[in-house]
Structure 1
């Protein structure tokens, strides 16, 4: 699917005959659509190959034909997972033309498209900034969801019925954080490289708006840096949760072992007495006494209750 909008007016752009001052958005192009685009725009072969490669990480290159940015972010689908969105941006500053290519739907790009308003100059820089800014916001949405999940994990540590799968969940979120950190780091380096080259692009094309774009891009770099640091903090929290959970489980095991030891200690003298009275000697007065059985039970009960009271008093049970 190919759609286009004029950068300077609300009229329907004739971008196929005059590919200037337009924004062309391409979604999952067919071979025929791709061939048609090549006849209108000059694409660097390496850049086009990267744009059409599934799962490519963020990167920026300034080619002779155009500036090229692959921007890969997380998908804010209401779940804390590693689904990603990717947009490839081809910028032709000498003709005020922008081409965005994506292989799948990208939510924030459609939002920018719906709110697009043409102006007299510098619109493509603003579109680029809006796209990158909203993509960075998706990382922030992920970190907010992740914080809520880590808070829930912290609360479940002390609830035995909820802590059974805690270790599995912690490692699941640590894996998500590792993936997100790589995505944020790649996006940050790409945008930072774009910001460094934007002044060069402005000098070559006599544009002053690229200086403003450079400031905006540095703001996005700062936003991505804060996101990266937030992910590091979440990773440390999960590590702490894992350590505390191991401590809690160890304490629970110690309590169980203390209880079992106490019970074994109480039954130890009872077992001894039962073993003594169970010996088949003829000269054992208690064996032939009428109340011997009752006496043995009284001794067992008094000894067991006495040891139990003593252990409870000392705090051993």
Structure 2
């Protein structure tokens, strides 16, 4: 039987803990047997959760015999994990144990050094902070989960279901994973590379950077044509020098930044206006509806129509829900 230990730290987010519990608990082999044994462990027997407390009977020593360790997310007010926790995770990793994180649980793995040099994801809202705190981690904010073989990370609680089903499929095959997906009432076919529904924030730039006025100018002129030459000229540099300095300060290329700025503008308009797709394409500077649909899907991972259906703010919707 495959032993799954969920490492519960103080200020744990219950939803993040529930996703792997549910997925592995629902898994059955064709003969009805349970292939996974899922248990909780913690550094201390009393653990704070959002709104209530938990009593955990198993300590960190349980990690020594685990086949898989899952680290759920924690609240923003949670302090750093203790050195005992980090050391236990490092020992488990050195022993070859599979280790996965849910949402901002990626910060715990990063603190332990387990994500250095690897691709990783977390909830899009925290991706910039993860990249700032841990520059050796290749943060991928626009995917559901990242599988590095032994180390896995997932975006939010829903993405954790996708990651757990992926691990089950890897362990036991597609038929068993498909049955677990049906029991959890989720689709099996969402792949890790599918984009999160994210509102893209500006890549961070150093405070006082010479790029700040340029980025503001770009945001104000998105509806018009903006070329690399236009940006370099406004910055007073050659295109080559400008491209190099832009990447150094933002972590992306000028044209990729421009594309994401246009997608951000389009997302805002899709959420907050009833403008047609054709009009939004012009307002965000995509030139044509066809180019808009193709580039929006490439960045946001869905179509403009689907994004609007999911996030459009409808007057009176909140009152009707209440």
TM-score category (smaller protein): under 0.3
Compare CA radii of gyration and give the structure with the larger one.
1
Greater relative contact order (CA < 8 Å, ≥ 6 in sequence): 1
Identify the structure with the greater helix proportion: 1
Q: How does the TM-score come out when normalised to structure 2?
A: 0.27
